[in-house]
Structure 1
């Protein structure tokens, strides 16, 4: 704690992350499980990035956005998992105030960027299926880069405002965060002031930042479904739906748990349940994305088999 000169008030200089359990045996088991999840996530996303970069057949807008998603997933899971792994084995589970601030910001920035990127990927599928003859003209490389840059700027600026708003509140104790990382709602509950109004504003902003991308994605897929249903060939319809299935799966696994955490009423707050649910959009989504896209995507599988057979991708 910091003691402010001339005042009797103390201010938090570090937080204690309680994690999942205080039992050493349980923590060792969790360490093994989460280490495997983390390494698999990094390896899986790294392979997808490598294949897309090296195989010229994958140099299309769809795979460009998939490559950006894989990069975001690697960075996203790295903001929380390594520290959680250390805390599972270490006696001390503290994180400095500045470290908590930075972790909350990076986690929020990458999560919001991913939210927006999912909208961009839905738009990519919308143009490819609804306007296939104009696809390469509409989604040119200049627009792809601008959409990616715009997603990053919006994500990092929005997270900066949200994090500054949360961490500028007075924290004078207690400093035990009932979570495995510095997630906004868990830290906000420790502020030494009446946060009822602040929670209402924060909840409204969270709902807006989640519902807006979901609405845009739904609008894109409504147009896609209407277009696909007009296709006479059943084989062409199946192919069109197949190209969208992977995106819909990862969107569901990402938005489902995050919507529950950030859009549910404050009265239903449950730290233990929230910690478990947050693993889905934090750790498991980063692991799921490369599995879904590699198992369901013929181009990715073909590039991988070529790499294994020849030791390189032509």
Structure 2
């Protein structure tokens, strides 16, 4: 069962979908999972897919649109701000604790791609999160820093100056609008082309995932390290899922970095053979294998016997 709900991050309304287990009984106490979408995504896409699957396994799950994006409130629109993204997760936990059928001591987080990085980062200082699942995680700051960081920051600075002096706000695309446009621009990387196939075709597209990024977001992204202090503060049980078809987005590398850095005593990493980054978004075989690891991990980590 899926229900549209809202919660607050500061003064902004965050739009979410709450997924309840089959045969839901409001008199019972359930473990609950916050599902965090990738950059450029919305709650109806891969975060919602995992939330739905988790609900069928007996968990309460919630997937939400990041503040400034999708159906959520907040201005400026299309801002990708790591601090606010992490705060969204905290606020989702706040909301879950208000539900009488959620066990406040059995809340976990699952994130995909950049959402996997944000999920791990939130868990560093959010001790109400008792278990972390990071699916094909991307440290979004690392990804941006690898592409002409200083030159890009100079460009962002010039754009901010222009906007402060009356220029229109610059909004760019996360990805080219089509595979043809990407190839014409000389972009042939497998991860980029798969991103287009997921987000810009009937496979995974959604009208609220409109491929728009506020250009000046890039300065905050450049300075963000999702895994900073994980070797000290990330002690909760951790499961990382990656595919072994490695592309330029770096999720395979980031997944192993997160796994190796985490201070968690209970941690594991699972590699889905033959799966790419985007296969783990929605492809039945890859996501089924991921769920075969995720469900028992969460059941154990969020057991009432813990």
For the criterion TM > 0.5, the same-fold answer is no
Larger Rg: 1 or 2?
1
Higher helix content, 1 or 2: 1
Give the TM-score taking structure 2 as reference length: 0.28
Give the TM-score taking structure 1 as reference length: 0.28
